[in-house]
Structure 1
Amino acid sequence: MVLGGLLPSTPATNVLLIVVATAFIWLGSGWLEESADHLASYYGLPPIVQGTIIVALGSSFPEFASVVFAALAGVFDMGVGAVVGSAIFNILVIPALSGLATDGDLETSRLVVYKEAQFYMIAVATLVVTFALAVIYIPVADAPPLTGRITRPLAAIPLLLYGLYLFIQWQDVDEYDGEPAADDTGIAREWGLLALGLLVILVAVEQLVGSVEALGSTFGISTFLTGVTIVAAATSLPDLLVSVRSAKNGNSATSLGNVLGSNTFDLLVAIPVGVLIVGSVPVDFAVAVPMMGVLTLATVLLFTLLRTKLSLTRPEAYILLIAYVVFIVWVVAESAGITQLVRG
């Protein structure tokens, strides 16, 4: 049963609920991002920090909520899949559509390429190391090979790295000369809108995770793969909205900063906090790491294209979109048993 037993749990009902929940995630995220953007401007934060922390935290909240609810429901693999799938979507689709939304090329900067991008690569490597430590030191008995248990001490590793990331961004804020707004009219309303957006997202994501889990059970699809595809696409809509809008307004720093900051938050905070809430969770290294490998390849492709003349051209944007289509085809092939690169 869905919606607290008000509707029967049929495939048609679950598909309808996924669509409705996605719409509410988009609505709540719009409120969240609008208020976060206004608050960042009011407190005088630099554009790169607005993109990588304030706006990214707001647009990443759906992924964060999906990990928490998946962990509480006992399907942590779905939450991990949602984060990894969302990260791949963010890396390939969002910069591509942002570039196509502008009149010319999507300009970037050395600050984005050399600081944000490199720190993001460190975040990917840190999460893989955390998974590996779980398999080596806390293997799960009576489970598929290469299954380890992530505990709270292990979850602290990526969280500590995110603390370093916040410290680096704080240094940027400390050195920034921007002045905060003097007029505080409407600030209370912005904080209220932020809280309302968080509440709407929480309710919508809880229903989304439940419906996707039910559909996966009905059709025999693994929770990790449903997370990589359905949940990831639904929770990535806010990131897409923010980045495309920023690119159309000529603010490429916020557009690309949101993508990298959102992914950094998802990998270093969303997954570890899910572990902290439930205490410990099993992770299938054989399933998670191939997907992290795909994420690494997608990241290398994006950074290579961004580094050429420090801009993303329209042909390069289409290359990113083609790469995402190839990824989706591969995921479908894995689900159908045509390919077996993902073990477990």
Structure 2
Amino acid sequence: MTWLLLGAGLVLLVIGADLLVKGAARLAANFGVPSLVIGLTVVAFGTSAPELAVSVKAAFSGQAELAIANAVGSNIFNVLFILGVAAVVSPLIISKQLIRQDVPIMVVVSVVALLMTLNGNINKLEAAILALGLFGYTAFLFFQGKKQGADVSDEEVEEMLKTPVPTWKNVLMVVGGLALLVWGARWLVQSAVEIATAWGVNEAVIGLTIVAAGTSLPEVVTSVVATIKGQRDIAVGNVVGSNIFNILCVLGLSGLVSPTPLLAGEQLANIDIPVMVGVAILCVPLFFIGSILHRVEGLLFLALYVAYVWYLVAMALSQPYLNTLQSGIIYGLLPIVVLYVVIAFIHDIRQRRLRG
């Protein structure tokens, strides 16, 4: 029953987020809001709605560590699993804006989150700083889009607004979407805590794995479908944007409404958040190389994610092979990744010089 509750909670979160985004986007369009603003606010917030709902519910329910674990785990899952799968399906095109602007912003906000959690929590002031960063980032994207004279969300938003829907139905979709998000978050948090108790592990492990993967389902669908359709740049932009919003929006807003500071235990502070930062930094050279994420790099991402989850589970269950697994990751897998990045980077520089 607990697993059924978990699955039902995930389904409600996905459906609720979809209803909320569509209803709110159409309501905003009815009031004359430009599609650029809708894309940068309603749609962007909607992709992080499951993570936000779960983190807020966890904070209010006393599982303050689950709130941070959910956002951190989602960011790791987004890059290593979603981009890994998408790149294996088809090599992904990386736009210049992502390389020069969005990926560096993702790295910076990830480092900020790391620095904030060094003392073991995110307090109200730090959450307010993240929330201000969210509004600043959204405003920056809006003015940048206006300056460039291009609506970056035209295709996605216009497709959503193509069919006229009565206002009352849009209001019903927004209310229904919010209700499903709240209901799904309640079931998900409740079942996650019960599973953690039954397995004898802390809630952070469940938040970093099962909950994080579940709340990232909208991003999985969006990125993989975009890749199959040939929109290979959208897949990467969706993940990078979602990661930025997860830190600024999910951690910021859930920290503000939480009655107590969001907790970052020893494992989160010393392992998981540094992994999130490392994954963000890894994107910089791999995205720069040829401005394409190749299939072999997608396989590397997937190998890193499998190793990370395997290590988390082995550590949580105190498996006897934990030290061997840790040595294999540190002295085997990571050097292979670093060697590949160095060789690929040098090759790319030589190719650019030849073309230049």
For the superposition of Structure 1 and Structure 2, which TM-score range results when normalised by the shorter chain?
A: 0.7 to 0.9
Counterpart of 1:250? 230
Distance across 1 between alignment mates of 2:129 and 2:166: 35
Counterpart of 2:293? 312
Distance across 2 between alignment mates of 1:190 and 1:239: 23
Counterpart of 2:92? 106
Distance across 1 between alignment mates of 2:196 and 2:188: 12
Counterpart of 2:16? 28
TM-aligned CA deviation for residue 232 of structure 1? 0.7
Structure 1 residue identity aligned to 2:177 = G
Structure 2 residue identity aligned to 1:167 = A
TM-aligned CA deviation for residue 248 of structure 1? 2.5
Counterpart of 1:61? 49
**Pick aligned residue for 1:123 from 109, 132, 157:** 109
Aligned residue pairs, count: 311
Alignment pair present for 1:168 and 2:140: yes
Distance across 2 between alignment mates of 1:227 and 1:336: 15
* Cα pair distance change 1:212/1:100, threshold 3 Å: same
Alignment pair present for 1:214 and 2:205: no
Counterpart of 1:84? 72
Alignment pair present for 1:15 and 2:12: no
Structure 2 residue identity aligned to 1:131 = T
Counterpart of 1:154? 126
Alignment pair present for 1:334 and 2:322: no
Distance across 1 between alignment mates of 2:140 and 2:78: 23
* Cα pair distance change 1:187/1:90, threshold 3 Å: farther
**Pick aligned residue for 1:226 from 206, 221, 224:** 206
Distance across 1 between alignment mates of 2:144 and 2:171: 24
* Cα pair distance change 1:285/1:221, threshold 3 Å: closer
**Pick aligned residue for 2:254 from 251, 274, 293:** 274
TM-aligned CA deviation for residue 91 of structure 1? 0.9
Distance across 2 between alignment mates of 1:324 and 1:170: 34
TM-aligned CA deviation for residue 66 of structure 1? 0.9
SS at match of 1:260: helix
TM-aligned CA deviation for residue 116 of structure 1? 0.7
**Pick aligned residue for 1:283 from 263, 267, 273:** 263
TM-aligned CA deviation for residue 28 of structure 1? 2.7
Distance across 2 between alignment mates of 1:220 and 1:112: 41
Distance across 2 between alignment mates of 1:329 and 1:199: 35
Structure 2 residue identity aligned to 1:156 = A
Distance across 1 between alignment mates of 2:171 and 2:228: 26
Counterpart of 2:58? 70
Moved more, 246-255 or 312-321: 246-255
Counterpart of 1:4? none
Flag structure 1 segments of 5+ consecutive residues without an equivalent: 1-12, 136-146
Counterpart of 1:9? none
Counterpart of 2:333? none
Counterpart of 1:236? 216
SS at match of 2:164: coil
Provide, for residues 252-285 of structure 1, a one-character-per-residue CA deviation record: whole Å limited to 9, x for no partner: 3432222111111111121222222133325245
Please give the residue correspondences for 1:289-304 in structure 2 after superposition, counting only pairs within 5 Å.
289=269, 290-304=271-285
Flag structure 2 segments of 5+ consecutive residues without an equivalent: 327-356
Distance across 1 between alignment mates of 2:93 and 2:201: 40
TM-score computed with the length of structure 1 as normaliser: 0.80
Distance across 1 between alignment mates of 2:299 and 2:26: 32
Provide, for residues 201-244 of structure 1, a one-character-per-residue CA deviation record: whole Å limited to 9, x for no partner: 22112111011101212221101111101111111111111122
TM-aligned CA deviation for residue 199 of structure 1? 2.4
2:36–2:142: 8 Å Cα contact kept in structure 1? no
* Cα pair distance change 1:297/1:26, threshold 3 Å: same
Aligned Cα RMSD in Å? 2.9
- Structure having the higher helix fraction is 2
TM-aligned CA deviation for residue 45 of structure 1? 4.1
